[in-house]
Amino acid sequence: MTPPNDSAFRRLASDLRGLAGMPPLWWSALYFFCLLTGYYVLRPVRDAMGAESEVAAVFPEAVVHWFAARGIALGEFTLQVLFSLTFLAMLLLQPAYGALVSRYARRVFLPVIYLFFIACLVAFYFIFDSGMSGRGMLFFVWVAVFNLFAVTVFWSFMSDVFDNAQAKRVYGYIGAAGTIGAVTGPGITRLLVERIGTANLLLISATLLGVCLLCIVRLRRWAKLREHERGEAGGQDHAMGGSILAGMRLAFREPVMRAFALLMFFGVGVGTLLYNEQAAIAQQFYPDSNARTAFYSGIDLAVNFTSLAVQLLLTRSLLNYLGVARVLLVPPLAILAGFALLLASPLPVMVALVQVVTRAGEFSLGKPARETIYTRLSPELRYKSKAMIDTVVYRGGDLSFVWLHKLLAAGGSKMVFGAGILAALGMGYGAWRLGRSQAALPEDRPAAAATAAVT
Protein backbone atom coordinates (compact mmCIF):
# COMPACT_ATOMS: atom_id res chain seq x y z
CA MET A 1 0.00 0.00 0.00
CA THR A 2 1.30 3.46 -0.89
CA PRO A 3 1.68 5.68 2.18
CA PRO A 4 -0.75 8.66 2.14
CA ASN A 5 2.09 11.15 2.28
CA ASP A 6 4.16 9.41 -0.38
CA SER A 7 3.29 12.03 -3.00
CA ALA A 8 4.54 14.81 -0.69
CA PHE A 9 7.89 13.09 -0.29
CA ARG A 10 8.08 12.46 -4.03
CA ARG A 11 7.47 16.17 -4.70
CA LEU A 12 10.14 17.04 -2.13
CA ALA A 13 12.70 14.71 -3.72
CA SER A 14 11.88 16.01 -7.21
CA ASP A 15 12.14 19.63 -6.11
CA LEU A 16 15.47 19.10 -4.35
CA ARG A 17 16.86 17.43 -7.47
CA GLY A 18 15.76 20.47 -9.45
CA LEU A 19 17.48 22.77 -6.95
CA ALA A 20 20.74 20.80 -6.95
CA GLY A 21 22.16 23.16 -9.57
CA MET A 22 21.28 26.31 -7.61
CA PRO A 23 24.46 27.20 -5.65
CA PRO A 24 23.02 30.30 -3.90
CA LEU A 25 20.44 28.10 -2.17
CA TRP A 26 23.10 25.80 -0.71
CA TRP A 27 25.40 28.66 0.36
CA SER A 28 22.39 30.36 1.96
CA ALA A 29 21.38 27.15 3.71
CA LEU A 30 24.93 26.71 5.05
CA TYR A 31 24.93 30.36 6.17
CA PHE A 32 21.65 30.00 8.11
CA PHE A 33 22.63 26.61 9.54
CA CYS A 34 25.90 28.00 10.93
CA LEU A 35 24.23 31.19 12.18
CA LEU A 36 21.52 29.39 14.15
CA THR A 37 23.88 26.67 15.34
CA GLY A 38 26.16 29.38 16.69
CA TYR A 39 23.27 31.16 18.38
CA TYR A 40 21.80 27.99 19.92
CA VAL A 41 25.20 27.07 21.30
CA LEU A 42 24.95 30.33 23.25
CA ARG A 43 21.25 30.30 24.13
CA PRO A 44 21.39 27.64 26.91
CA VAL A 45 24.19 29.65 28.53
CA ARG A 46 22.03 32.79 28.36
CA ASP A 47 18.91 31.02 29.67
CA ALA A 48 20.84 29.54 32.57
CA MET A 49 21.95 33.03 33.55
CA GLY A 50 18.43 34.42 33.26
CA ALA A 51 17.15 31.65 35.56
CA GLU A 52 19.95 32.15 38.10
CA SER A 53 18.45 32.62 41.59
CA GLU A 54 21.55 34.31 43.00
CA VAL A 55 21.35 37.92 41.77
CA ALA A 56 25.01 38.57 42.57
CA ALA A 57 25.91 36.02 39.88
CA VAL A 58 23.96 37.98 37.25
CA PHE A 59 24.17 41.69 38.08
CA PRO A 60 27.14 43.91 38.98
CA GLU A 61 27.57 44.59 42.68
CA ALA A 62 26.60 48.26 42.23
CA VAL A 63 23.21 47.28 40.71
CA VAL A 64 22.52 44.77 43.49
CA HIS A 65 23.32 47.37 46.17
CA TRP A 66 21.18 50.02 44.43
CA PHE A 67 18.09 47.81 44.53
CA ALA A 68 18.81 46.58 48.06
CA ALA A 69 19.15 50.16 49.34
CA ARG A 70 15.60 50.83 48.12
CA GLY A 71 14.15 47.67 49.62
CA ILE A 72 13.50 46.02 46.23
CA ALA A 73 14.01 42.26 45.92
CA LEU A 74 15.91 42.23 42.62
CA GLY A 75 15.60 38.44 42.37
CA GLU A 76 11.83 38.77 41.84
CA PHE A 77 12.35 40.99 38.77
CA THR A 78 15.44 39.43 37.17
CA LEU A 79 13.85 38.72 33.76
CA GLN A 80 11.93 42.01 33.71
CA VAL A 81 15.12 43.99 34.39
CA LEU A 82 17.08 42.01 31.78
CA PHE A 83 14.35 42.49 29.16
CA SER A 84 14.21 46.21 29.94
CA LEU A 85 17.98 46.53 29.51
CA THR A 86 17.77 44.59 26.23
CA PHE A 87 15.15 46.98 24.87
CA LEU A 88 17.29 49.97 25.91
CA ALA A 89 20.31 48.43 24.14
CA MET A 90 18.24 48.01 20.96
CA LEU A 91 17.22 51.67 21.05
CA LEU A 92 20.79 52.86 21.56
CA LEU A 93 22.18 50.64 18.80
CA GLN A 94 19.66 51.67 16.11
CA PRO A 95 21.41 54.99 15.23
CA ALA A 96 24.79 53.21 15.12
CA TYR A 97 23.40 50.54 12.79
CA GLY A 98 21.67 53.22 10.68
CA ALA A 99 24.96 55.11 10.32
CA LEU A 100 26.77 51.93 9.27
CA VAL A 101 24.15 51.06 6.64
CA SER A 102 23.94 54.64 5.32
CA ARG A 103 27.66 55.34 5.02
CA TYR A 104 29.15 52.03 3.93
CA ALA A 105 28.43 49.67 1.05
CA ARG A 106 26.87 46.28 1.78
CA ARG A 107 30.10 44.52 0.82
CA VAL A 108 31.63 46.40 3.79
CA PHE A 109 28.97 46.61 6.48
CA LEU A 110 27.72 43.00 6.21
CA PRO A 111 31.14 41.50 7.06
CA VAL A 112 31.77 44.26 9.63
CA ILE A 113 28.64 43.28 11.59
CA TYR A 114 29.74 39.66 11.83
CA LEU A 115 33.34 40.58 12.59
CA PHE A 116 32.02 42.74 15.45
CA PHE A 117 30.06 39.81 16.87
CA ILE A 118 33.08 37.51 16.55
CA ALA A 119 35.22 40.08 18.41
CA CYS A 120 32.58 40.27 21.15
CA LEU A 121 32.62 36.49 21.57
CA VAL A 122 36.41 36.51 21.91
CA ALA A 123 36.10 39.29 24.51
CA PHE A 124 33.47 37.28 26.42
CA TYR A 125 35.84 34.32 26.41
CA PHE A 126 38.26 36.33 28.54
CA ILE A 127 35.45 37.86 30.63
CA PHE A 128 34.05 34.43 31.51
CA ASP A 129 37.52 33.12 32.22
CA SER A 130 38.13 36.01 34.64
CA GLY A 131 34.83 35.59 36.50
CA MET A 132 34.02 39.32 36.19
CA SER A 133 31.04 40.59 38.20
CA GLY A 134 27.95 41.34 36.12
CA ARG A 135 28.97 39.11 33.22
CA GLY A 136 25.58 37.35 33.36
CA MET A 137 23.65 40.58 32.72
CA LEU A 138 26.06 41.71 30.01
CA PHE A 139 25.99 38.36 28.22
CA PHE A 140 22.18 38.00 28.44
CA VAL A 141 21.64 41.38 26.80
CA TRP A 142 24.37 40.83 24.21
CA VAL A 143 23.01 37.44 23.08
CA ALA A 144 19.54 38.95 22.59
CA VAL A 145 21.04 41.79 20.52
CA PHE A 146 23.22 39.37 18.55
CA ASN A 147 20.31 37.07 17.73
CA LEU A 148 18.01 39.77 16.40
CA PHE A 149 20.57 41.82 14.48
CA ALA A 150 22.41 38.84 12.97
CA VAL A 151 19.19 37.13 11.85
CA THR A 152 17.57 40.29 10.45
CA VAL A 153 20.75 41.07 8.49
CA PHE A 154 20.70 37.50 7.16
CA TRP A 155 17.16 37.81 5.80
CA SER A 156 17.86 41.29 4.42
CA PHE A 157 20.79 39.82 2.49
CA MET A 158 18.60 36.94 1.29
CA SER A 159 16.25 39.52 -0.28
CA ASP A 160 19.30 40.78 -2.21
CA VAL A 161 20.14 37.29 -3.45
CA PHE A 162 16.68 35.94 -4.41
CA ASP A 163 13.72 37.45 -6.23
CA ASN A 164 10.10 36.98 -5.14
CA ALA A 165 9.43 33.81 -7.16
CA GLN A 166 12.70 32.22 -6.03
CA ALA A 167 12.01 33.16 -2.41
CA LYS A 168 8.67 31.33 -2.43
CA ARG A 169 10.48 28.28 -3.74
CA VAL A 170 13.58 28.21 -1.50
CA TYR A 171 12.84 30.04 1.76
CA GLY A 172 11.22 26.97 3.29
CA TYR A 173 14.36 24.94 2.63
CA ILE A 174 16.64 27.69 3.96
CA GLY A 175 14.45 27.84 7.06
CA ALA A 176 14.79 24.05 7.39
CA ALA A 177 18.58 24.41 7.43
CA GLY A 178 18.16 26.90 10.28
CA THR A 179 15.89 24.48 12.15
CA ILE A 180 18.56 21.77 11.86
CA GLY A 181 21.02 24.31 13.26
CA ALA A 182 18.60 25.02 16.13
CA VAL A 183 18.76 21.31 17.01
CA THR A 184 22.52 20.99 16.49
CA GLY A 185 23.49 24.00 18.63
CA PRO A 186 21.98 22.83 21.96
CA GLY A 187 23.34 19.34 21.24
CA ILE A 188 26.86 20.76 20.98
CA THR A 189 26.41 22.66 24.26
CA ARG A 190 24.96 19.67 26.09
CA LEU A 191 27.73 17.38 24.83
CA LEU A 192 30.68 19.69 25.45
CA VAL A 193 29.89 22.20 28.20
CA GLU A 194 31.00 19.94 31.05
CA ARG A 195 34.09 18.84 29.14
CA ILE A 196 35.48 22.12 27.85
CA GLY A 197 33.62 24.74 29.92
CA THR A 198 31.36 27.64 28.99
CA ALA A 199 34.14 29.98 27.84
CA ASN A 200 35.34 27.57 25.14
CA LEU A 201 31.80 27.19 23.79
CA LEU A 202 31.99 30.87 22.87
CA LEU A 203 34.96 30.15 20.60
CA ILE A 204 32.97 27.41 18.84
CA SER A 205 30.21 29.92 18.16
CA ALA A 206 32.79 32.46 16.90
CA THR A 207 34.14 29.85 14.46
CA LEU A 208 30.64 29.22 13.09
CA LEU A 209 30.21 32.96 12.52
CA GLY A 210 33.47 32.83 10.57
CA VAL A 211 31.81 30.33 8.20
CA CYS A 212 28.90 32.80 7.86
CA LEU A 213 31.42 35.40 6.68
CA LEU A 214 32.66 33.00 4.00
CA CYS A 215 29.06 32.44 2.84
CA ILE A 216 28.48 36.21 2.56
CA VAL A 217 31.53 36.53 0.31
CA ARG A 218 30.45 33.60 -1.88
CA LEU A 219 26.84 34.88 -2.19
CA ARG A 220 27.84 38.40 -3.23
CA ARG A 221 28.03 37.34 -6.89
CA TRP A 222 24.31 36.44 -6.99
CA ALA A 223 23.35 39.53 -5.01
CA LYS A 224 25.02 41.68 -7.68
CA LEU A 225 23.18 39.81 -10.45
CA ARG A 226 19.87 40.52 -8.70
CA GLU A 227 20.82 44.21 -8.43
CA HIS A 228 21.20 44.46 -12.20
CA GLU A 229 17.79 42.83 -12.67
CA ARG A 230 16.22 45.32 -10.27
CA GLY A 231 17.99 48.35 -11.65
CA GLU A 232 19.93 48.79 -8.39
CA ALA A 233 23.39 48.26 -9.88
CA GLY A 234 26.19 49.19 -7.51
CA GLY A 235 24.27 48.65 -4.28
CA GLN A 236 26.75 46.07 -3.02
CA ASP A 237 29.69 48.37 -3.77
CA HIS A 238 28.30 51.83 -2.90
CA ALA A 239 26.87 53.33 0.28
CA MET A 240 23.09 53.39 0.54
CA GLY A 241 23.01 56.98 1.80
CA GLY A 242 20.05 58.64 3.47
CA SER A 243 19.44 59.41 7.11
CA ILE A 244 20.72 57.17 9.90
CA LEU A 245 17.20 57.36 11.42
CA ALA A 246 15.41 56.59 8.15
CA GLY A 247 14.46 53.12 9.37
CA MET A 248 12.32 54.56 12.16
CA ARG A 249 10.63 57.12 9.92
CA LEU A 250 9.94 54.60 7.18
CA ALA A 251 8.38 52.21 9.68
CA PHE A 252 5.73 54.82 10.46
CA ARG A 253 5.40 56.34 6.98
CA GLU A 254 5.06 53.29 4.74
CA PRO A 255 1.77 51.31 5.11
CA VAL A 256 3.48 47.97 4.49
CA MET A 257 6.06 48.67 7.22
CA ARG A 258 3.36 49.78 9.69
CA ALA A 259 1.64 46.45 9.06
CA PHE A 260 4.91 44.60 9.60
CA ALA A 261 5.38 46.43 12.92
CA LEU A 262 1.83 45.71 14.10
CA LEU A 263 2.13 42.02 13.27
CA MET A 264 5.54 41.82 14.94
CA PHE A 265 4.39 43.54 18.15
CA PHE A 266 1.38 41.30 18.78
CA GLY A 267 3.12 38.19 17.45
CA VAL A 268 5.85 38.65 20.04
CA GLY A 269 3.16 39.43 22.63
CA VAL A 270 1.32 36.11 22.32
CA GLY A 271 4.63 34.25 22.54
CA THR A 272 5.76 36.17 25.63
CA LEU A 273 2.48 35.68 27.48
CA LEU A 274 2.50 31.97 26.68
CA TYR A 275 6.18 31.52 27.59
CA ASN A 276 5.84 33.20 30.98
CA GLU A 277 2.59 31.47 31.92
CA GLN A 278 4.03 28.15 30.76
CA ALA A 279 6.81 28.61 33.33
CA ALA A 280 4.27 29.16 36.12
CA ILE A 281 2.14 26.16 35.09
CA ALA A 282 5.17 23.89 34.69
CA GLN A 283 6.39 24.88 38.16
CA GLN A 284 2.94 24.02 39.59
CA PHE A 285 2.49 20.65 37.88
CA TYR A 286 6.17 19.59 37.81
CA PRO A 287 7.77 20.63 41.13
CA ASP A 288 10.78 18.40 40.40
CA SER A 289 13.38 20.23 38.28
CA ASN A 290 14.22 17.09 36.27
CA ALA A 291 10.56 16.63 35.35
CA ARG A 292 10.34 20.29 34.28
CA THR A 293 13.46 19.90 32.16
CA ALA A 294 11.92 16.85 30.46
CA PHE A 295 8.70 18.84 29.84
CA TYR A 296 10.61 21.71 28.23
CA SER A 297 12.86 19.45 26.16
CA GLY A 298 9.81 17.60 24.85
CA ILE A 299 8.31 20.89 23.68
CA ASP A 300 11.55 21.93 21.98
CA LEU A 301 11.83 18.61 20.17
CA ALA A 302 8.22 18.79 19.01
CA VAL A 303 8.68 22.38 17.80
CA ASN A 304 11.82 21.55 15.85
CA PHE A 305 10.51 18.40 14.19
CA THR A 306 7.14 19.98 13.37
CA SER A 307 8.87 23.04 11.89
CA LEU A 308 11.23 20.88 9.86
CA ALA A 309 8.41 18.73 8.45
CA VAL A 310 6.33 21.77 7.46
CA GLN A 311 9.35 23.62 5.99
CA LEU A 312 10.33 20.66 3.84
CA LEU A 313 6.90 19.41 2.80
CA LEU A 314 4.42 22.31 2.93
CA THR A 315 5.93 25.80 3.04
CA ARG A 316 6.77 26.06 -0.65
CA SER A 317 3.40 24.66 -1.76
CA LEU A 318 1.39 26.87 0.60
CA LEU A 319 3.23 30.05 -0.44
CA ASN A 320 2.73 29.26 -4.13
CA TYR A 321 -0.86 27.96 -4.04
CA LEU A 322 -2.45 29.88 -1.16
CA GLY A 323 -0.41 33.04 -1.59
CA VAL A 324 1.43 35.13 0.97
CA ALA A 325 -1.67 36.93 2.32
CA ARG A 326 -3.49 33.70 3.25
CA VAL A 327 -0.39 32.03 4.67
CA LEU A 328 0.17 35.06 6.93
CA LEU A 329 -3.25 34.43 8.50
CA VAL A 330 -2.63 30.76 9.35
CA PRO A 331 -0.43 31.26 12.48
CA PRO A 332 -2.65 33.89 14.20
CA LEU A 333 -5.81 31.86 13.56
CA ALA A 334 -4.16 28.74 15.00
CA ILE A 335 -2.91 30.71 18.01
CA LEU A 336 -6.36 32.23 18.58
CA ALA A 337 -7.89 28.74 18.67
CA GLY A 338 -5.10 27.58 20.98
CA PHE A 339 -5.59 30.37 23.52
CA ALA A 340 -9.36 29.71 23.50
CA LEU A 341 -8.63 26.08 24.42
CA LEU A 342 -6.21 27.19 27.16
CA LEU A 343 -8.83 29.52 28.60
CA ALA A 344 -11.10 26.46 29.04
CA SER A 345 -8.39 24.00 30.10
CA PRO A 346 -5.01 25.41 31.20
CA LEU A 347 -3.32 22.01 31.61
CA PRO A 348 0.39 21.39 30.83
CA VAL A 349 -0.42 19.17 27.83
CA MET A 350 -2.56 21.93 26.32
CA VAL A 351 0.11 24.56 27.03
CA ALA A 352 2.68 22.34 25.32
CA LEU A 353 0.41 21.85 22.29
CA VAL A 354 -0.23 25.58 21.86
CA GLN A 355 3.46 26.34 22.37
CA VAL A 356 4.35 23.93 19.57
CA VAL A 357 1.71 25.45 17.26
CA THR A 358 2.84 29.00 18.08
CA ARG A 359 6.56 28.50 17.59
CA ALA A 360 6.41 26.00 14.71
CA GLY A 361 3.88 28.18 12.88
CA GLU A 362 6.20 31.19 13.22
CA PHE A 363 9.32 29.34 12.04
CA SER A 364 7.77 27.39 9.18
CA LEU A 365 5.03 29.70 7.85
CA GLY A 366 4.97 33.17 9.41
CA LYS A 367 8.67 33.97 8.96
CA PRO A 368 9.04 32.70 5.36
CA ALA A 369 5.82 34.48 4.31
CA ARG A 370 6.97 37.80 5.76
CA GLU A 371 10.48 37.53 4.34
CA THR A 372 9.27 36.93 0.77
CA ILE A 373 7.60 40.36 0.89
CA TYR A 374 10.96 42.05 1.51
CA THR A 375 12.23 40.82 -1.86
CA ARG A 376 9.81 43.35 -3.40
CA LEU A 377 10.89 46.34 -1.30
CA SER A 378 13.65 48.91 -1.69
CA PRO A 379 17.11 48.45 -0.10
CA GLU A 380 16.38 51.16 2.48
CA LEU A 381 13.24 49.34 3.60
CA ARG A 382 14.99 45.97 3.55
CA TYR A 383 18.00 47.03 5.59
CA LYS A 384 17.00 50.07 7.66
CA SER A 385 13.31 49.80 8.41
CA LYS A 386 13.34 46.01 8.66
CA ALA A 387 16.15 46.14 11.21
CA MET A 388 14.22 48.62 13.34
CA ILE A 389 11.09 46.44 13.31
CA ASP A 390 12.98 43.19 13.92
CA THR A 391 14.90 44.64 16.86
CA VAL A 392 13.25 47.64 18.54
CA VAL A 393 9.61 46.68 17.83
CA TYR A 394 10.37 43.03 18.65
CA ARG A 395 11.97 43.83 21.99
CA GLY A 396 9.39 46.53 22.66
CA GLY A 397 6.68 43.88 22.37
CA ASP A 398 8.69 41.52 24.53
CA LEU A 399 9.17 44.20 27.20
CA SER A 400 5.52 45.34 27.15
CA PHE A 401 4.09 41.86 27.48
CA VAL A 402 6.58 40.56 30.05
CA TRP A 403 5.47 43.35 32.39
CA LEU A 404 1.83 42.84 31.40
CA HIS A 405 2.14 39.19 32.37
CA LYS A 406 3.57 40.20 35.74
CA LEU A 407 0.44 42.30 36.29
CA LEU A 408 -2.07 39.72 34.98
CA ALA A 409 -0.51 36.72 36.72
CA ALA A 410 -2.06 37.81 40.02
CA GLY A 411 -5.47 37.04 38.49
CA GLY A 412 -4.46 33.51 37.48
CA SER A 413 -3.99 31.67 34.20
CA LYS A 414 -7.45 32.46 32.85
CA MET A 415 -6.70 36.18 33.05
CA VAL A 416 -3.43 35.68 31.16
CA PHE A 417 -4.99 33.52 28.45
CA GLY A 418 -7.90 35.95 28.07
CA ALA A 419 -5.34 38.68 27.34
CA GLY A 420 -3.66 36.22 24.98
CA ILE A 421 -6.87 35.98 22.93
CA LEU A 422 -6.90 39.76 22.55
CA ALA A 423 -3.23 39.74 21.54
CA ALA A 424 -3.92 36.96 19.00
CA LEU A 425 -6.72 39.10 17.52
CA GLY A 426 -4.25 41.98 17.25
CA MET A 427 -1.80 39.64 15.54
CA GLY A 428 -4.51 38.52 13.11
CA TYR A 429 -5.39 42.12 12.31
CA GLY A 430 -1.71 42.88 11.66
CA ALA A 431 -1.45 39.85 9.35
CA TRP A 432 -4.58 40.97 7.46
CA ARG A 433 -3.22 44.49 7.08
CA LEU A 434 0.12 43.17 5.85
CA GLY A 435 -1.62 40.89 3.37
CA ARG A 436 -3.56 43.83 1.94
CA SER A 437 -0.49 46.11 1.84
CA GLN A 438 1.74 43.59 0.09
CA ALA A 439 -0.92 42.89 -2.53
CA ALA A 440 -0.37 46.41 -3.88
CA LEU A 441 3.36 45.79 -4.40
CA PRO A 442 4.75 44.64 -7.78
CA GLU A 443 5.73 40.96 -7.85
CA ASP A 444 9.33 42.09 -8.48
CA ARG A 445 10.19 45.74 -8.06
CA PRO A 446 11.07 47.47 -11.34
CA ALA A 447 13.94 49.90 -11.50
CA ALA A 448 11.63 52.92 -11.29
CA ALA A 449 10.32 51.76 -7.91
CA ALA A 450 13.62 50.56 -6.55
CA THR A 451 14.16 53.41 -4.12
CA ALA A 452 12.23 54.91 -1.25
CA ALA A 453 14.55 57.76 -0.37
CA VAL A 454 14.29 59.26 3.06
CA THR A 455 16.80 61.97 3.89
Print the SS3 string covering 135-186: HHHHHHHHHHHHHHHHHHHHHHHHHHHCCHHHHHHHHHHHHHHHHHHHHHHH
- Whether the predicted pLDDT of 30 surpasses 80: yes
Predicted confidence at residue 177, as pLDDT, reads 92
Predicted confidence at residue 51, as pLDDT, reads 57
Summarised one tens digit per residue, pLDDT across range 104-147 is: 777 788 888 999 999 999 998 888 777 677 778 888 889 888 88
Q: Mean pLDDT, to the nearest integer, of 182-193?
A: 84
Burial (CB count within 10 angstroms: exposed 0-12, middle 13-18, buried 19+), residue 143 = buried
Does a structural domain hold residue 10?
no
Q: Where are the beta strands (DSSP E) in 37-146?
A: none
Q: pLDDT band at 241, cuts 50/70/90? A: low
CATH number of 393's domain: 1.20.1250.20
Summarised one tens digit per residue, pLDDT across range 253-297 is: 889 999 999 999 999 999 999 888 887 787 777 776 556 656 776
Distance from C-alpha of 61 to C-alpha of 75, rounded to nearest angstrom? 13
Mean pLDDT is highest, among 78-87, 216-225, 289-298, for 216-225
Does a structural domain hold residue 271?
yes
Does a structural domain hold residue 12?
no
Q: pLDDT band at 237, cuts 50/70/90? A: low
Does a structural domain hold residue 340?
yes
Does a structural domain hold residue 139?
yes
Does a structural domain hold residue 14?
no
What are the distances in angstroms from CA 285 to CA 69, 221, 294, 299, 411? 36, 54, 13, 15, 18
Q: pLDDT band at 194, cuts 50/70/90? A: confident
Q: Mean pLDDT, to the nearest integer, of 221-231?
A: 80
Does a structural domain hold residue 165?
yes
Summarised one tens digit per residue, pLDDT across range 385-408 is: 888 898 889 888 988 998 899 889
Residue ranges making up the domain that contains 226 = 21-443
Residues with Cβ within 8 Å of residue 170, at least 6 apart in sequence: 19, 22, 25, 28, 162, 316
Least confident of 199-208, 218-227, 281-290, 324-333: 281-290
Q: Is the pTM of this model over 0.85?
A: no
Q: Based on the structure, what is the number of domains in the chain?
A: 1
- Whether the predicted pLDDT of 188 surpasses 80: yes
Does a structural domain hold residue 314?
yes
Distance from C-alpha of 421 to C-alpha of 426, rounded to nearest angstrom? 9
Distance from C-alpha of 378 to C-alpha of 264, rounded to nearest angstrom? 20
